[in-house]
Structure 1
Amino acid sequence: MAWRRLARCRPLVFACIALLGACSTSAGDPGAVSDAAKAGGANEHGLARLRNPLEGDARAIAAGRDLFAGKACASCHGADARGGMCPSLVDRAWVYGDDDTTLYHLIREGSAGMRAHGYVRGGAAKAVGDMPPLGSAVSEQEAWQLLAWIRAHAAAESTGTR
């Protein structure tokens, strides 16, 4: 009986192990942002407005695809980013918002960081738990690469051109 319960938890255990492995590297201050990403002004939560400097860059998109698979993102969001234990990244139903500022900080600071900035989770997307902060595992450049791929992948999914 206990083995059956353990078998049901196996995907979560593997995801946690992969995430812990990804978080073992240091990538600096998760709040640090290069000048190239600053868009001017602040959003309603007091965060500097950001824009992805790598948006549409084919090499960045390819790197983001590889990071998505290699940083354990697929363990929670599914190999095709359509969701798994956590929300889909291709359906435009973002739980904190879909702008670059919000998504960058969500990747780097996780759900708890978003709440600390005053964000409130919206929508009813499935999530087993909070998104962990990946700031220690993902550099600023890598966060923008991931976001470039997610946006390109979502656009391809919505038009059926993937």
Structure 2
Amino acid sequence: MPGRVPTSDALARTLARAFAPRFALLLLAVVVARVGRLAERRLPEPWGDAVGDVLAAALVAVLVLVVRPRTRALTAGLVGFALCAAFEVSRLTPLPQDLAERWPALDPLLGAAFSPAGLLWAAVGAVVGVAAGVAVVRAVSRGRPRGGHHT
């Protein structure tokens, strides 16, 4: 007998299993981005920049998990840190200033000077982002039925 055609219920469960972690991570990314922007604008210095740097790196780590939800936590954290560290080190070159002059809308993102503390905050943020991402994926995975019918 040929393979069975999945019912709409089975298809819905399969899609939910496939996309629920990614959707939850995307929501987490939106929240992290919004809180990071608020922190940079509303907290006094030096706290605003520090919290903003932590949450920017957390956002990058979470976005790695959005793109590939099954990425190992260590890998996602290392990628998040590496990207943020590269960005921070790029501030030692004229590239960010050139880009900000060419596209003024990028100035708030690119305008800051290099800060060694930014590398530390990026490491902290990568750990925070991965921890939050893993917790969200586990919570979503625990909340879904593993098969069968439920009422």
Please tell me the TM-score bracket, short chain as reference. Answer: 0.3 to 0.5
TM-score, with structure 2 as normaliser: 0.33
Structure with bigger helix share is: 2
Structure with bigger strand share is: 1
